[in-house]
Chains A and B, each alone.
Chain A
Amino acid sequence: MSTIKEIQDEIVEEFELFDDWMQRYEHMIELGKSLPLIEEKYKTEENLIKGCQSKVWVHAEMEDEKLVFTADSDAIITKGIIAILVRAYSNQHPNDILEADNKFIDEIGLKEHLSPTRANGLVSMIKQLKMYAIAYKTQLN
C-alpha cells in the first residue's frame, strides 16, 4: 500500500506530462470519471460540503483502521478535484490523513483552487476530509 506522499508524488508526475492548463484540466476531468462514487443514499444534506457553488458530497467509512472515501459532485471540474483528493487520502489511516500536507496541489498547477476565498474551495474539501479523519480517529482510540 502506497503512502499519501507516494500517491501525491505519483499524481504530480502524471500532471508533469502536460504542458498547458487545458491538458491538465482535461486530465483532471478524466480523473473525475474514476472517482469511487458515493451511494445515492449518502447524498444527504449532512454529507454536502458547505461553501461550494457546485454540490460536493463526501462519505467516509472505516475499513481495517483505514478511512475509505466516496464522493460525487454535480460539476465535473469539482468532481475532478475531489477525485484527486480521494485518490491521495482514501485507504489511509486517519493519523496519516491528518498529518498530510497539500503542497502537491500547487505542484500540479491547480493553485488557483487553493484560495480560501474561492467559491468552490479545495480548502473546504480538504478540511472536510480531515474532519472525518478526526472523527474516526477518536473512534479508534
Chain B
Amino acid sequence: MKVATEKAHFDVESIRKDFPILSRKVNGYPLVYLDNAATSQTPQQVINSITNYYSQYNSNIHRGVHSLSQEATDAYEQARIKIQKHFNAEKSNEIIFTSGTTHAINLVASGFTSLLEKGDELVVSALEHHSNIVPWQMLCERTGAIMKVIPMNEHGMLDLAEYENLLSEKTKLVFINHVSNALGTVNPVQKIIEKAHAAGAAVLLDGAQAAPHIKADVQALDVDFYVVSAHKMCGPTGVGILYGKEEWLNKLPPYQGGGEMIATVTFEKTTYADLPHKFEAGTPNISGGIAFGDALDYMNTIGFDKIAAYEQELLEYATEKLLKIEGLRIYGVSEEKTAVISFNIGEIHPYDIGTIIDKLGIAVRTGHHCAQPVMDYYKIPGTVRASFAFYNTKAEIDTFVEALEKAKKMLS
C-alpha cells in the first residue's frame, strides 16, 4: 500500500529545510555538521520563538502586574509544563530551570553537602563527562564522603557485577550518564536504579546525551534526579533543567540566594519560596526556557520513535562505511548505542584529522571529549567523534568518509 510506505519514510530533506544553518558553506564546501553531541542545530521554529519573545513580550517574569510580564510568565510556565509532560514528571514543580546540565548537577551536589557524613559513599561510572565527576569530587572534599567508580570494559560498557559489589548501606548516591558522550553507550539505567534503590541510595542520571535521542520517562525509571541541556536537543544554549522528585527537592537546601526564591525577607530571617522557585534565584533565561519548550514541541512533532529509528539507520550505515577505511578503530561498540562514533585511524592524531576535514567543511569533535578517564582506559590522547542527528543524511556520511580517506592520505 502506497500510504503505508510513505508513512515509514523519514523525510529528511524537508526536515533539513527547517534548519537555516544547514545550507551554509564552510571553507567553500557545504557544511556537514557531525558534532551534534556537543551542540545540536536550531530549527527555524525555535529561532522564531526567541525572536518572537524579544520582539513581542520581553519582560521580567513573576513580578509585574502589567500585561507583558503576565504574558512572559505564562509562556515560561507553559514551557515548564511542556517539559514536565515530555519527561512525564508527576508535577510541574519538579522541573527546575537551570543554565544546563552542569548547573543542574552542581545544584544537587551542593545540596547534598548537608545530607552527607564522613565515610558515606557515592558511586560514579568510568564513562562520565567531567561535569558529572568534578562537582561530586568537590562534594567529597567538603564532606569526607568517598567516591567509588564502576569500571568499564573494552566495549565501552559498564561492569554491572562490579557495580553491585560497590553498593552497600553506606552508598548514598549513584550518578551515571544515561548515555555516554564519548562513546555513545546507552547504559542499563533501569537496572542501575533498581539496584541503587535496593541499597537505599538515590540516583541522578545525566541525561544530556540521552535526551536528544531517547524520550525518558522519569516516573517509569523511578529516577530521583534527571538533568539535561536544551542545546543538545534543538534548543538554545544556556538553559536546561533539573528534574527532581518532590520529596528530594524539598530535602535539598536552596542553592543560590537572591530574588525570586524567597517568600519573605527580613534581616533576621528569610523564608524560602516553594518549589520550583526555591531553586530559581534571579532572573532566568526566559526566552531560553520558552524556546526549550518549543524545541521539544518540534522534536515531538517529528516523533522520537521516528528520530531514533532514522538515527540508528545512519549509525549502521556510517559504521559499515567507516570500517572499510583501513586502520580505523571504533571505540565503544556496546550493543545499544546512540548515533555516535568515536574512532581513530592508525596512529594519526585526532587533531590532525579534525583540522583537515574542517577544511573540507566537515565539523566533528576531536580530543578527550571532557571524558579523560575513558581516554585513559584506552590509553589514547583522544578520538575523532562523529555524532549524528536526525537531520543528517547518508550522502553526508559519504562525503565524510571521502574526506577521511583524503585526510588519511595526507597524514600518513
Contact = CB atoms under 8 A, between A and B. Distances in A.
Interface of A: 21-22, 25-26, 29, 53-55, 74-78, 119-120
A130 to B, nearest CB: 24
Contacts of B351: 53-54, 75, 77-78, 119-120
B360 to A, nearest CB: 9
A74 B410 contact: no
B352 A53 contact: no
A77 B381 contact: no
A21 B356 CA distance: 10
11 contacts: A21-B359, A22-B410, A26-B410, A53-B351, A53-B382, A76-B349, A76-B411, A77-B411, A78-B349, A78-B351, A119-B367
B270 interface: no
B381 A25 contact: no
Contacts of A25: 356, 359, 410
Contacts of B168: none
Given A53-B366, A55-B381, A29 B349 contact: no
B355 interface: yes
Nearest to B359: A21
Nearest to B406: A22
B410 A29 contact: yes
Specify which of A29, A75, A78 lies most central, judged by the most chain B CB atoms within 10 Å of its CB: A75
Interface string B55-74: 00000000000000000000
Nearest to B356: A25
A124 to B, nearest CB: 14
A74 B411 contact: no
B349 A54 contact: yes
A55 B349 CA distance: 10
Interface residues of B, number: 14
Which 7 pairs across A and B sit closest by C-beta, in order of nearness? A75-B349, A54-B351, A75-B351, A53-B351, A75-B352, A77-B352, A53-B367
Contacts, number: 40
A104 B342 CA distance: 36
A26 B367 CA distance: 22
Contacts of B366: 53
Contacts of B27: 21
Given A54-B351, A77-B351, 18 more contacts: A21-B27, A21-B359, A22-B410, A25-B356, A26-B410, A29-B410, A53-B366, A53-B367, A54-B381, A55-B381, A75-B351, A75-B352, A76-B349, A76-B352, A78-B349, A119-B351, A119-B367, A120-B355
Nearest to B381: A74
B349 A74 contact: yes
A3 to B, nearest CB: 31
Nearest to A24: B359
A78 B351 CA distance: 9
A77 B359 contact: no
Interface in B325-368: 348-349, 351-352, 355-356, 359, 366-367
Nearest to A118: B355
A95 B68 CA distance: 63
Contacts of B352: 54, 75-78
A74 B349 CA distance: 7
A134 B27 CA distance: 37
Contacts of B382: 53
Contacts of A119: 351, 367
Contacts of B381: 54-55, 74
A3 B331 CA distance: 48
A42 to B, nearest CB: 19
B375 to A, nearest CB: 12
A25 B381 CA distance: 23
A21 to B, nearest CB: 6
Interface in B146-189: none
Specify which of A22, A55, A77 lies most central, judged by the most chain B CB atoms within 10 Å of its CB: A77
Contacts of A22: 359, 410
Interface in B381-412: 381-382, 410-411
A29 B359 contact: no
Interface string B369-382: 00000000000011
B404 to A, nearest CB: 14
Nearest to A75: B349
Contacts of A54: 349, 351-352, 381
Contacts of A120: 351, 355
Contacts of A75: 349, 351-352
A52 B32 CA distance: 25
Interface in B1-34: 27
A31 to B, nearest CB: 14
Nearest to B411: A76
B213 to A, nearest CB: 27
A54 to B, nearest CB: 4
Contacts of B356: 25, 77
A38 B2 CA distance: 68
B192 to A, nearest CB: 33
